[in-house]
Amino acid sequence: MSRPIRVAVVEDHAGLRERLVQQLAFFDAVELVLVSESGDAFLADLDVRARSGAPAPEVVLMDIEMPGRDGIATTAELKQSRPEMEVLILTVYEDEDKIFAAVQAGASGYLLKDAGPDAVVRAVGEIAEGGAPTSPLVARKLLGYVRHQQGEASRVAAATEALHLTPRETDVLSRLVEDDTEAGIADALGVSPHTIRTHVKNLYAKLQVHSRAQAVRAAFERGLV
């Protein structure tokens, strides 16, 4: 039989943390080597373990909402210093933004906390073998989020193309909406203020407006931002 997978648990709720620890103890496929009550504590505990020469966890069961550094920020920090360590998010949250942020931070899987211990252990095994386990509900939400983002990008692209805005004009318009100054825009885009004024003049002509306020309003009304 292959050796158990080394697992860490990062969970701020004492009751949930203890329950998960007790549940994992029944499974020979995993070995719990580290338990932390917050993201900050986990990163510190991990450093202590590394200095002691003890083997590092291979999969981290990570909560999202924690005091101090949350699970998303902890995952991002972890993946920068230890990219080989996998993260499985366990949370009660079904928010698409949080799901997508966790994936972008480097999480390899995402399960809701109502998943049974069998499902968690299976997910740990999948991650250790290079998989990306995700509960069906979370997978649907993640897919819906991606489709929405793609739809928004397509809508903006179509509106921009209809007005024949150049990529640089689109950048300038976005910064006008953000209330950046011409000097600030010039500095950010690495061009002269005179060039920015030319882009703004062209934008006004294409949008058929005569002021920044009108340009910003037109940008929102026409779906350009």
Residues 98 and 173 in one domain: no
Q: In this structure, are 78 and 16 located in the same domain?
A: yes
Specify if 153 maps to a domain: no
Q: Is residue 108 part of a domain?
A: yes
Mean pLDDT over all residues of the chain? 83
- One domain, residues 39 and 101: yes
What are the backbone dihedrals phi and psi of residue 218, each rounded to the nearest 5 degrees, phi first? -65, -35
**Domain hosting residue 133, numbered range:** 5-142
Residue 110's pLDDT band (cuts 50, 70, 90): confident
Q: Domain for residue 157, yes or no? A: no
* Over residues 140-150, mean pLDDT: 55
**Strand-by-strand arrangement of the 86-91 sheet:** 30-36, 5-10, 59-62, 86-91, 109-112
Q: Is residue 148 assigned to a domain? A: no
Residue 179: per-residue pLDDT = 73
pLDDT at 115 over 90: no
Q: How many CA atoms lie within 13 A of 117 on its CB side?
A: 15
Mark which of 110, 142, 174 sits at the end of a domain.
Answer: 142
Q: Is residue 30 a contact partner of residue 127, using CB atoms and an 8 Å limit? A: no
207 shares its domain with 135: no
Query: Are 84 and 27 in the same domain?
Result: yes
pLDDT band, residue 1 (cuts 50/70/90): very low
pLDDT score at 174: 85
Which of these, 124, 141, 126, lies nearest to 20 by C-alpha position? 124
CA distance linking residue 130 with residue 58, whole number of Å: 12
Check whether residue 100 and residue 201 sit in a common domain.
Answer: no
State the total domains in the chain: 2
Q: What are the pLDDT digits (tens) for 122-144?
A: 989 988 887 766 655 555 555 55
**One domain, residues 28 and 75:** yes
Comparing 24 with 109, which gets the higher pLDDT? 24
